[in-house]
A and B are shown apart, each in its own frame.
Chain A
Amino acid sequence: MHSNKKKFVSLFTSSPLHDFLIPFKKAPNQWVARYIIIVFAIIVRCAVGLGSYSGFNTPFMFGDFEAQRHWLEITTKLPITKWYFYDLQYWGLDYPPLTAYHSWIFGMIGSWIDSTWFALDSSRGLENTDLKSYMRITVLISEIVCYIPAVLMYSKWMARYYNNASSIDQTIIAAAILFQPALIIIDHGHFQYNCVMLGLTLLSVVNLLYNKYALASIFFVLSLCFKQMALYYAPVIFCYMLSVCIWPLRVNFNLLRLISIGSSVIITFSIILFPFVYFGGFIQLKQILIRVFPFGRGIFEDKVANFWCSTNIIIKYRNIFNHDQLKLISLLLTLIGISPSCIAIFLKPKKNLIVWCLASCSLAFYLFSFQVHEKSILLPLMPITLLLNEVDPDVISMVCWICNISMFSMWPLLKKDQLELQYFVLGIMSNWLMGNLSWIRKTLQWMKIPVTAREMATPVLPHNLFWSMVIIGSYIAAGLLHFIEFIKPPPENLPDLWVIGNVVISFGCFSLFYLWTNYKIYQIANTKVKEN
């Protein structure tokens, strides 16, 4: 295990990102480097936003873009009491209240610009360039406010207390995190506001790192109230907070801290829910719960790379168990899946363990829980991407690998959205920026591309032979699948064959990665590191 005193050697020394930013190494120019990465992160998002979006030009239900636009419409044009009741068949609001408030604000601004964009009912299915630009900009603003500062703050904390990265290395790592392609393409291509929920959770984590528990719980509640999916993180956050309050029992049982956490959670929830209760009574709360947690739906809908969908090929669960049994089994499996991370963080509330446990826990939810979408991989992916701050090169290799696999696992969705171009470009861009493609340059040396030859280390594979084989194997399988899909349509009796291939490959990788995170958690939990 690395000691904190060791001088930090940037793992991205041979990466283009490093080449771009190192000219701004001098202290007076540091701010330029930070602005460059932020502005370029935004520029790339703008460029992705020029492309298509979910449900583009597909009447009558369209897609996620229309859903979000519709929410802007109903929140601005209807009284608060009707938000969760209005025409539920057509993209009824099924996210928690903070999403509704968020929609309301942007809906008000948008209606001020053009009243037709969010006119009640008559604006359904509206598609024009200006509306699209406006919606894209709302996502950008949300991301600039929530997600980007959180990433920078996290990297700053890590540099100060954990990996001793220099200021410029810290910027480089933050850039690597910001250029993670999956979030970019879902939020700015497919169209969703995941960055808000992820950003709020990350802000909560940052506050945990700085020992600001009340703030951390406020941010986490906000995150939950934005998108119920933040529940994937809840067990770990809960266990950590509980642990730092009461563990070990006799030495530092901290009642005051426990009370402050509890009260800030309750107060935040009440403030957010208050308008609904005030205007509509408690029936509103019931309706919100029904809308937000749709237990009536099946165990999985589309093809998604989790346990249920992948093993369903062999075992037809729906024929063996009924709906309620399935719910129970999935609950049990999920509980088993999240237990290692929760127990570890409860027994050893170390700060460098938080992100690992978040990754493991949310991945367990993704793999085993009920009603998972392929986009849900963004949740485990957020803490996983934060692991780029680690100093162990093997970890970086694994993280880059799983980022690519997650991108790959969303391919069927992105293909449906006509985002193929963006998929490939972003995939190549993020890998190339982190230096994962420099081995190509090495093999192409005979071409004499005008590159000043430098000694390049090739950060693709970890040292462990098993993982190297897994990674290479999965890349080959994924590449082959893309190739076959390109040249040949699936056989007629099995129209989903390529999608199922995708699901199986991704599921294999995710579950192996899940096991690996648990192994790492065990390893880190049992290492003595001086707490800062």
Chain B
Amino acid sequence: MVPKPLIKRSSSVNPDPQQKTQYNFSLWNIWVATTLLKILLYPAYHSTDFDVHRNWLSITSLLPVSDWYLENTNQWTLDYPPFFAYFEWFIGLFVPHVVVDDGCLELVDVGRYGHLTVYFQRSSVIVSEIVLFLALQRFINISRSLKEKKRNFVIASSIVLSPGLMIVDHIHFQYNGFLFGILILSITNAKTKNYLWCGFWFAVLLCFKHIFLYIAPAYFVFLFSAYCLNPLTIPKSTKELIGFIRWENLLKLGSVVIAVFVVAFAPFVYYGVLPQLLSRLFPFSRGLTHAYWAPNIWAVYSFMDRVLIQLVSKVPGFGEFVHLVFKLNISSESVNHTSSLTRGLVGDVQFSILPDIKPNHTFLLTVFYQAMSLIPLLVNPSFERFIASMTLCAWASFLFGWHVHEKAIMLVIIPFSFIVAQDRKLLPLFQILSASGYVSLFPLLFGSAEWLFKALFTFVWFVVFSTSFNEVSHFSTTLARRVFIIDRLNSLYIVALIPMCCFVQMLEIQSRNFEILQRLEFVRLMIYSMTCCIGVISSWNGFTWLYFLDDSIWVEKDD
């Protein structure tokens, strides 16, 4: 029991002598608050990803390691790299008996489970997310000045409170939180110039989820340039060229990374299932776009195709015109076959009017834009450049990649958060990106129960962090002309997202009364996709512009 002297109210003791320490740079409070909120979300909708992870849990718990990547009773086979499989195996050690009886660990084609399984797996997401909180707390703690600490606190809290994580991890169901935690460990080590640890954590991350390959080029170039090269001078002879590379560091880094991969993959090489594993990791059989178009270039492309189909079928003579001018092949049969707007919900996307896109096209485009962003990093491997090029790499993959999920936008937003405070000029770009990016996640939760929750959470996050980032950002050092009309357009766009969401929701509500709206289900997703495209692409334009043309942003700034 608490002894008497301890139990006093604050007003009865003297007011805190250190009035200055009003700010508390600890994520503890946020952790408690969000954890409580996340527990309230236990009964919320969960997607098929839940059954995917439940299936992996049972595969790793019940089967020997050699069979993990062979098992295919359930259509959701294990298709993440080995560390994630180990991670699932580790969680499986803690499944209580009541949860096992609930059907958590059954190897069946479709999972049959009750709320206990849901509670258990949702708890595992919350617990694993502690990694993210610890990594970000470390990021705050390494700040050197109070001002920087405040800035880093805003960055960290914007990430842990991210509506993306709330929607994707805690409602839709995935384990992104702790994966981003590992990414942030790596980023923190890059900031403190512990390059070996930086490489180590990133290698670990890649062995957890291979989607982080999107940003691997930035890591590769950064670590190579910052750690394995002497400061850049033009080599005059072959000897200098050899001396130009710090072979010892290269060896250390290489062995660390290879060691991680060996630990991850060795058992599967031993059992001879590596080819099977790799074919699971990189399935090229899927289509260009997902059922719901992630807001990228291909969404615009598909949209244009749809518009052209409509024009060709509705406007007489338009087809011949297109054929004559652009030499595009239009078979009236394909147009008729595909003119229904509901098309595109399932399966492979085939374009009727515009030329088809092959995987190597997307690959070339992605590599080109990534390479462009890597050149400045190679020359000047500063931390800020590194984060910026990481953002750009993820962005290029998101915009041009093959079969991109809308969730991948988190890979752009989270690195971007680390540099947004660098300069006021970046703030509007970040606002547009985060607003459109998070709104583009809304269709993941299509039910009416979570609608208000996701919308309000995203809204309040946006208001809070727009204000906070505005307060802690560095002022622009260059007195660039700010184009006010563009600023106004930015705000207009962001505000317009609200009526867009409401309008689409109204369409959905009214679709039970009007049959025409039911058939237009795809249109609702298309509205989301197109609106968010505008934001993601225009923000990318602005960012690329600043990345290549405004060098003053990408240097370490003093407070």
Contacts and interface: CB of A to CB of B under 8 A. Distances in A.
A264 B510 CA distance: 42
Contacts of B29: 16, 19-20
Contact of B41 (A47, A394, A442): A47
Given A22-B23, A32-B463, A132-B449, A421 B10 contact: no
Interface in B424-469: 447-453, 456-457, 459-460, 463-464, 467-468
B181 to A, nearest CB: 14
B15 A9 contact: yes
Contacts of B456: 39, 42-43, 46
B2 A460 contact: yes
B337 interface: no
Contacts of B510: 113
Contact of B11 (A11, A40, A425, A442): A11
Interface residues of B, number: 54
Contacts of B1: 472
A302 interface: no
B52 to A, nearest CB: 22
A252 interface: no
B8 A458 contact: yes
Interface stretch (B32-40, B59-67, B391-399): B32-40
B44 interface: yes
A457 interface: yes
A137 interface: yes
A377 to B, nearest CB: 22
Given A47-B453, A133-B449, A459 B9 contact: yes
A481 interface: no
A20 B450 CA distance: 25
A268 interface: no
A14 B134 CA distance: 23
A32 B459 CA distance: 12
A432 B30 CA distance: 12
B460 A40 contact: yes
B392 to A, nearest CB: 31
A23 B137 CA distance: 18
Which of B36, B40, B41, B43 has most chain A Cβ within 10 Å? B40
Contacts of A46: 452-453, 456
B11 A460 contact: no
A461 B36 contact: no
B24 interface: yes
Interface string A185-208: 000000000000000000000000
B447 A129 contact: yes
B16 interface: yes
B43 A50 contact: yes
Contacts of A452: 21, 24-26
B26 A451 contact: yes
Contacts of B468: 23
A115 B10 CA distance: 56
Interface string B290-312: 00000000000000000000000
Given A20-B29, A22-B23, A23-B468, A51 B9 contact: no
A13 interface: yes
Which of A16, A47, A391, A422 has most chain B Cβ within 10 Å? A47
A40 B4 CA distance: 35
B13 A457 contact: yes
Contacts of A14: 10
B485 interface: no
Nearest to A40: B460
Contact of B32 (A9, A22, A397, A432): A432
A454 interface: yes
Interface residues of A, number: 70
A380 B513 CA distance: 44
A161 interface: no
Contacts of B134: 450
B448 A129 contact: yes
A457 B452 contact: no
A36 interface: yes
B157 to A, nearest CB: 10
B479 interface: no
B467 A460 contact: no
Contacts of A463: 8, 12
B224 interface: no
Contacts of A51: 40, 43
A479 to B, nearest CB: 13
A52 B44 CA distance: 11
B244 interface: no
Contacts of B27: 450
Contacts of B467: 24, 29, 32
A531 interface: no
A422 B15 CA distance: 35
Interface string A9-39: 1111110100110111100010010011001
Given A32-B467, A47-B40, A22 B7 contact: no
A454 B9 contact: no
A52 B449 CA distance: 12
Interface in B393-418: none
Interface in B357-387: none
A35 B463 contact: yes
Contacts of A472: 1-2
Contacts of B457: 43
A39 B42 contact: no
B36 A133 contact: no
Contacts of A433: 33
A475 to B, nearest CB: 10
Given A32-B463, A36-B460, A43-B453, A9 B10 contact: yes
A439 B449 contact: no
B137 A468 contact: no
A280 B33 CA distance: 53
Contacts of A449: 28
A459 B40 CA distance: 26
A11 B37 contact: no
Nearest to A450: B137
B241 interface: no
B97 interface: no
Interface of A: 9-14, 16, 19-20, 22-25, 29, 32, 35-36, 39-40, 42-44, 46-52, 113-115, 129-130, 132-134, 136-137, 140, 391, 393-394, 396-397, 421-422, 425-426, 428-429, 432-433, 439, 442, 449-452, 454-455, 457-461, 463, 465, 468, 472
Q: Which 7 A-B pairs have the closest CB atoms?
A: A393-B9, A457-B10, A47-B40, A133-B448, A46-B453, A39-B460, A461-B7
15 contacts: A35-B463, A36-B464, A44-B37, A50-B450, A113-B513, A114-B509, A133-B449, A394-B9, A429-B36, A449-B28, A452-B25, A454-B16, A455-B16, A459-B10, A460-B2
